[in-house]
Copies of this chain bind each other. A is one copy, B any other.
């Protein structure tokens, strides 16, 4: 298992800079008052392709050696990684094959195709998608860029907290949602090397709390096909993300479906930004646990903004 280093992060940041946005950090005096904390929202919903995942995907695509370019890249993803890899592959002019559950939001399927990605649909479970993926890879010979269990991807995601730290004057805590653990692992990789005084928390839906149970049990627990409105967070930890999570994460806190939806709606209403359910989980957790966050300077990673605007969770 190849563990990425802080030098990989610095190289990734230079490599991807021409292809990504340095996204803004927003604050909200209303949410500060409500939470008792000082919150700094790193807005990766404004990122290219609408999500932080473009950082890792672009790092993987642009570090591909020339002899692998023709066969392109392939992945399986519940959405944003598919979009991001298609975007990055398009920027480099190489093919991108994507295995995606047929239940993924139509907006995400349309966007993958608009970036030139080639979709193969599967049943909405981790096992089904891995089986379909093996088939696609055998057919195409494309380089596998896993959504998170890949050192190139984690080094790319680490550039997000690198920017966040340079955009704020010191933080006590950084919190991000956890699904497979790519963003959290990148955050661990960067902060452990450059700002070890910052505590790292992860936020997870109660109904897909396999990472929280893993951390408390001391080994990876993987659930097949959990159900949650936070559709980016259904996937399990893998060995590389477990490496970082088990070593550097202070705690993983959970929120209920209703708490997630309320925090999402609150963010739209008060901050006037469109965010996905997945990235409302940290705010839900912050509001639920003032004993952890109140009085602290907290960096909150808003991971993405790709929502099906015809199906909002509070109007269902």
Is B314 touching A268 in the complex (CB atoms < 8 A)? no
Contact with B along A294-314 (1 / 0, CB 8 A): 000000000001000110101
Given contacts A273-B274, A274-B274, contact A268 B309 (CB under 8 A): yes
Is B24 touching A265 in the complex (CB atoms < 8 A)? no
Give the residues in chain B near A272, CB-CB below 8 Å: 45-46, 50, 273-275, 305
Q: How far is the CA of A30 from the CA of B282 in the complex (A)?
A: 29
For chain A, the count of residues having a C-beta within 8 Å of the partner chain is 20
Give the residues in chain B near A269, CB-CB below 8 Å: 107, 274, 309
Is B314 touching A309 in the complex (CB atoms < 8 A)? yes
Total identical chains: 2
A315 interfacial by beta-carbon distance below 8 Å: yes
A128 interfacial by beta-carbon distance below 8 Å: no
Is A265 touching B309 in the complex (CB atoms < 8 A)? yes
Give the residues in chain B near A309, CB-CB below 8 Å: 265, 268-269, 312, 314
Nearest CB of B to A185, in Å: 25
Q: How far is the CA of A236 from the CA of B91 in the complex (A)?
A: 49
Give the residues in chain B near A107, CB-CB below 8 Å: 269
Q: Restricting to A98-150, which residues have a CB under 8 Å from any CB of B?
A: 107
Nearest CB of B to A316, in Å: 11
Give the residues in chain B near A314, CB-CB below 8 Å: 309-310
Contact with B along A44-56 (1 / 0, CB 8 A): 0110001000000
A26 interfacial by beta-carbon distance below 8 Å: yes
Contact with B along A276-302 (1 / 0, CB 8 A): 000000000000000000000000000
Q: How far is the CA of A46 from the CA of B27 in the complex (A)?
A: 10
Is B310 touching A315 in the complex (CB atoms < 8 A)? yes
Residue of B nearest to A302 (CB): B272
Nearest CB of B to A291, in Å: 27
Give the residues in chain B near A274, CB-CB below 8 Å: 268-269, 272-274
Q: How far is the CA of A272 from the CA of B309 in the complex (A)?
A: 11
Q: Restricting to A261-275, which residues have a CB under 8 Å from any CB of B?
A: 265, 268-269, 271-275
Give the residues in chain B near A24, CB-CB below 8 Å: 24
The 10 closest A-B pairs by CB, nearest first: A272-B305, A272-B274, A45-B272, A268-B274, A46-B272, A268-B309, A273-B273, A269-B309, A24-B24, A272-B273
4 more contacts with CB within 8 A, not counting A273-B273, A309-B312, A310-B315, are: A24-B24, A265-B309, A268-B309, A273-B274
List 20 interface pairs A-B (beta carbons < 8 Å), by A numbering: A24-B24, A45-B272, A50-B272, A107-B269, A265-B309, A268-B274, A268-B309, A269-B274, A269-B309, A272-B273, A272-B274, A272-B275, A273-B273, A274-B274, A309-B312, A310-B314, A310-B315, A312-B312, A312-B315, A315-B315
